[in-house]
Amino acid sequence: MNRDEENKLLGLPKGFTLIEVLVALAIVAVALAAVLNSSSAHTRNLTYLKEKTLAHWVASNQLMEAELSANGWPAVGVSTGNEELAGHSWYWRRQVSLATEINGKEMRRVDVAVYFDERVKQAHAQVSGFIIR
């Protein structure tokens, strides 16, 4: 005699009770919520890293432009502008300042900060470099 026949003789119902189904649904709902939370966090991090990488590229480009400008000797001061990269206009601020001499050679410090928009609240990337002549 198999289990179904035993249950039929004893008058036991066949299938799951409502409580069992509700508990299973609650477990599935909690698991799906955790998966969705993890997925949205991953998407946010991916977007953040993409913006950070693009901003760093813009900063590196501006640092190189400072080095290549005026025969490799940029003027002291602050300059601002924007650069188009990956379909977005990035705003940058470049500051060139005097630095101490090394072995009798002049040196300038170049600091570049890149911002996501014109409001210039928080820099997405900052790069510093030195140019020696």
The per-residue DSSP string of 45-104 comes to: HHHHHHHHHHHHHHHHHHHHHHHHGGGG-PPSEEEEEEEEETTEEEEEEEEEEEEEEETT
What distance in Å separates the CA atoms of residue 9 and residue 23, rounded to the nearest whole number? Answer: 28
Task: Please state the domain extents for the chain.
Answer: 12-132
What are the tokens at 31?
A: 């698991």
- What's the topology of domain 12-132? Pantoate--beta-alanine Ligase; Chain: A,domain 2 (3.30.1300)
Which residue type is seen at 1? Answer: M
Which residue type is seen at 101? Answer: E
Ordered per-residue pLDDT tens for the chain, 133 residues: 676 677 667 766 677 889 999 999 999 999 999 999 999 999 999 999 999 999 999 999 999 999 888 677 888 999 999 999 999 999 999 999 998 888 888 899 999 999 988 877 889 999 999 988 8
